[in-house]
């Protein structure tokens, strides 16, 4: 006797799925409090009219971020799922991506087809990056209040993320952050990889990030057609 549904669970791991056959997966990582959840919320508001979106959150303590997104009503509840990470958020997005892959696939099964799945990491350290087996592109979110020396310190998130977002630039005068120095340091660490300075909670603040995601989506769709 089983409660197994009739649907076929996607058995393959990500690498064996044809590009374009599923939603584009974008990971958002970064230190605690830098504005990852705010970025996800703002991206959903900016894109939801034209893009079918799902969100997977990874919390240290279960559902905090998912509940925030639900309260903010950025998406219908069934489009937001939380993954529990067993005290190691970086493990769940990098070393053992099993639970996140399942969450993404279940989301696509339940409410799909989706164009875009945003996978938000639990707040972690500067070494946390997403596995290429889980996401197609990753955004690393830092903020000026966390210290303007973070770009100089580097680490895999800062140096290798497909997009680096330096958030809360409106706070720079109050915390004594030197934005120009951050830009020079980031360019030195990242070479040609893009860096966006913004404040995602301010009017229009999410627009450059949304535009970048839009470009990735267009590239993803181009493969399918």
Q: How far is the CB of 62 from another protein (least distance, A)?
A: 6
Annotated binding site for GTP: 30-37
Query: Which of 106/115 has CB closer to another protein?
Result: 106
Stretch that binds another protein, among 23-31, 71-79, 97-105, 156-164 (CB under 8 A): 97-105
In the list 73, 78, 98, 174, the residue contacting another protein (rule: CB under 8 A) is 98
Our CB check for another protein shows the closer of 72 and 84 to be 84
Q: Which residues 6+ apart lie within 8 Å of 107 measured at CB?
A: 54, 56, 79, 81, 114, 117
From the list 11-19, 153-161, 176-184, 187-195, the region that binds another protein by CB under 8 A is 11-19
Taking the C-alpha atoms of residue 164 and residue 29, their distance in angstroms, rounded to an integer, is 10
Measured CA to CA, the distance from residue 160 to residue 100 in angstroms comes to 21
- Out of 95, 191, 203, 222, the only residue in the binding site for another protein (CB under 8 A) is 95
C-alpha closest to that of 138 among 164, 104, 115: 164
Q: How many residues bind another protein (CB under 8 A)?
A: 32
Q: Which of 62, 125, 127, 202 binds another protein (CB under 8 A)?
A: 62
125 binds another protein per the rule CB under 8 A: no
Least distance between another protein and beta carbon 13 (Å): 5
Does the protein bind another protein through residue 11 (CB under 8 A)?
yes
Beta strands 116-120 and 24-29 are parallel
Q: Rounded to whole angstroms, how far apart are CA atoms 19 and 131?
A: 16
Q: Helix, strand, or coil here: 172? A: helix
Tell me 25's DSSP state.
Answer: E
Per the rule left: phi > 0, alpha: psi between -120 and 50, beta: everything else, 120 is beta
Does residue 192 touch another protein according to CB under 8 A?
Answer: no
The mark string for 63-82 relative to another protein (x by CB under 8 A, - otherwise) is x-------------------
């Amino acid at each position: 006797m089983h409660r197994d549904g009739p649907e076929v669970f996607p058995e393959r791991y990500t690498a064996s799925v044809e590009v374009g056959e599923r939603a584009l997966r974008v990971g958002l990582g970064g230190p605690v409090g830098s504005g990852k959840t705010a970025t996800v919320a703002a991206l959903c508001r900016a894109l939801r009219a034209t893009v079918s979106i799902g969100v997977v959150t990874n919390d240290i303590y279960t559902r905090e971020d998912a509940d925030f997104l639900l309260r903010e009503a950025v998406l219908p509840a069934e489009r937001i799922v939380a993954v529990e990470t067993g005290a190691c958020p970086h493990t769940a997005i990098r070393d053992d991506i099993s639970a996140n892959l399942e969450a993404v696939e279940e989301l696509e099964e339940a409410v799909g087809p989706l164009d875009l799945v945003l996978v938000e990491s639990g707040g972690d350290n500067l070494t946390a990056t997403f596995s290429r087996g889980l996401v197609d592109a990753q955004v690393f979110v830092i903020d000026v209040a966390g210290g303007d020396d973070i770009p100089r310190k580097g680490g895999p998130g800062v140096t290798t993320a497909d997009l680096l977002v330096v958030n809360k630039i409106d706070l720079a005068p109050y915390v004594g952050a030197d934005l120009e120095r951050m830009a020079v340091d980031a360019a030195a660490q990242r070479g040609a990889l893009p860096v966006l300075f913004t404040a995602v909670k301010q009017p229009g603040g999410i627009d450059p990030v949304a535009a970048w995601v839009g470009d990735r989506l267009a590239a993803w769709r181009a493969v399918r057609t």
